[in-house]
Structure 1
Amino acid sequence: MIKKYFLFLLVINFMSCAELQEVVNQLPESTTGISNTQIAEGLRAALDQGIDKQVTKLTQTDGFYKNDLVKILLPEELQKVDKALRDIGLSSLADEGLKVLNRAAEDAVSTATPIFINAVKGITFADAKNILLGNDDAATRYLAGRTESALYTEFHPVINNSFKKVGADQIWSNLINKYNNIPFTSNVNPDLTDYVTEEALKGVYKMIAVEEKDIRTKYTSRTTDLLKQVFALQD
């Protein structure tokens, strides 16, 4: 028995790191009995809870506008528009312009929530254990990296419709026309639909990450047996 043990150590000593990792990967699951598939299910459950608990907050009135984590501010190109309008006494119109950008995002996220839910269902966690043991927002960043481009394509027309629904297109057309008519200013014609689409998506991922961190750091946020079982592994 002792000879076999020393022979095993000798073999290990001459194996490359890659070969050793391959051996480790083939070992049975840990005594917890939780498989990679179950961990992946737990990660999806955490992301789903983030959508249900945090992203739904964004769909309420002022969900973006009064949330400092995700409030959509003016792009750099329009900051000069904002300042110029305030300088000529149109502060209330400038305020309304900022507000309707956020209103469009709030309306769009409400309409598009099923898009995010389907994205979570369709995601495959190839390395669920490493994601589980990663940073507080590792699952959210993984989701963003694999869905953001496709979600942008689906979300853009929703934002466009919401712009019309809340009157943002008319308000900003008025704002930009007034600015462009101010003497000695260079005309602007920004693609606000594109900008708000990107900012709204960032806000959605940020709020999902908020809930993921809570689940990772607070036992009370693990609302199901699956979440308790899976995230106990990273405690």
Structure 2
Amino acid sequence: MHRRQFNSNASALLALALAGMPAWAQAINLSALSNADATAGLKATLEKGASAAISLLGQEDGFMNNPKVRIGLPKPLDEVAGMLRRFGQGHQLDELVTAMNRAAEQAIPLAKGLLHDTIQSLTITDAKSILSGGDNSVTQFFEAKTREPLSQRFLPDVSKVTARVGVAEKYKQVASKAASVGLLKQEDAQLDTYVTARALDGLYLVIGEKEREFRSNPLAAGSAVIEKALGALRP
């Protein structure tokens, strides 16, 4: 689709993608919604969702007490964990799980600047992809743009936290053996890279949830820009 065609239809695309409403129900409101308003509304929604996700996850128990994002041992290591508990290592395993989640909670605020820059550099192609995508289009957008640089940014801080827990070295030894026989992905055999990956999974998941929440209720976002753009999409 050419730029001109996209600009002329941007309001309709935004309405249908964000509100999921029939075209006839939005006809009057759409006439007053410019492409600039649509783009600004989308950026503001993503900013608000990212900020809310960072605030929620980047605090103590942000991961630990949220079953959707809580970081546990990789499933293939569950049996090993059970054996260690039978041999009196339960306390150390609990410490490890707590340390993994604390590491994620401490790393999350480091994402703020990069997420902001990514949103502000949003292109027409990016907007098309987000607006025409499904429920996980926002997650896919952020993951494609930020996973690699954020992984590099998170890793040193994650390593500092997990290094304080003695059982972390045992995890690495057991996980490496499991990976060598194909029971565990190689990237999950290294504790710090595993925690970093799960932290990013949680971040993208919550950003997507918040963005969908603001789509369905623009007033909840508390932003005049979002209310103007997304409010016009409601009958």
**Same topology, TM > 0.5:** yes
* Pairs aligned (count): 206
Give the partner amino acid of 2:167: I
Name which of structure 1's ranges 79-88 and 108-117 shifts more when overlaid on structure 2: 108-117
Residue by residue over 1:11-36, the C-alpha shift from the partner in whole angstroms, topping out at 9 and shown as x without a partner, is: xxxxxxx8xx999557587622411x
Give the partner amino acid of 2:92: L
1:171 to 167, 170, 192: 167
Q: 1 CA distance for matches of 2:126 and 2:38? A: 10
Task: State the partner residue of 1:75.
Answer: 74
Residue pair 2:51, 2:112 contacting (<8 A) in 1 also: no
1:108 aligns with 2:107: yes
Q: 2 CA distance for matches of 1:175 and 1:195? A: 11
Q: 2 CA distance for matches of 1:80 and 1:128? A: 45
| Unaligned stretches of 5+ residues in structure 1 | 1-17, 181-185
Report the TM-score when normalising by structure 2.
0.72
Q: 2 CA distance for matches of 1:97 and 1:23? A: 54
Q: 1 CA distance for matches of 2:117 and 2:3? A: 34
The one of the two structures with greater contact order (alpha-carbon pairs below 8 A, sep at least 6) is 2
Find the residue that maps to 1:39 and give its secondary structure: helix
Give the alignment of 1:1-235 within 5 angstroms: 25=6, 31-35=31-35, 37-126=36-125, 128=127, 131-132=130-131, 134-164=133-163, 167-168=164-165, 170-174=166-170, 187=177, 190-232=189-231, 234-235=233-234
Q: 2 CA distance for matches of 1:76 and 1:26? A: 47
Q: 1 CA distance for matches of 2:90 and 2:141? A: 41
Q: Kindly state the Cα deviation for residue 121 of structure 1 after the two structures are TM-superposed.
A: 2.7
Identity of paired residues, percent?
26
Q: 2 CA distance for matches of 1:25 and 1:113? A: 30
Report the TM-score when normalising by structure 1.
0.72
Residue pair 2:43, 2:119 contacting (<8 A) in 1 also: yes
Change (3 A) 1:139 1:125: farther
Q: 2 CA distance for matches of 1:22 and 1:62? A: 45
- The root-mean-square deviation of aligned C-alpha atoms, in Å, is 3.1
Q: 2 CA distance for matches of 1:132 and 1:188? A: 41
Change (3 A) 1:188 1:200: same
Q: 2 CA distance for matches of 1:134 and 1:176? A: 38
Give the partner amino acid of 1:161: K
Residue pair 2:114, 2:146 contacting (<8 A) in 1 also: no
Q: 2 CA distance for matches of 1:176 and 1:140? A: 29
Larger Rg: 1
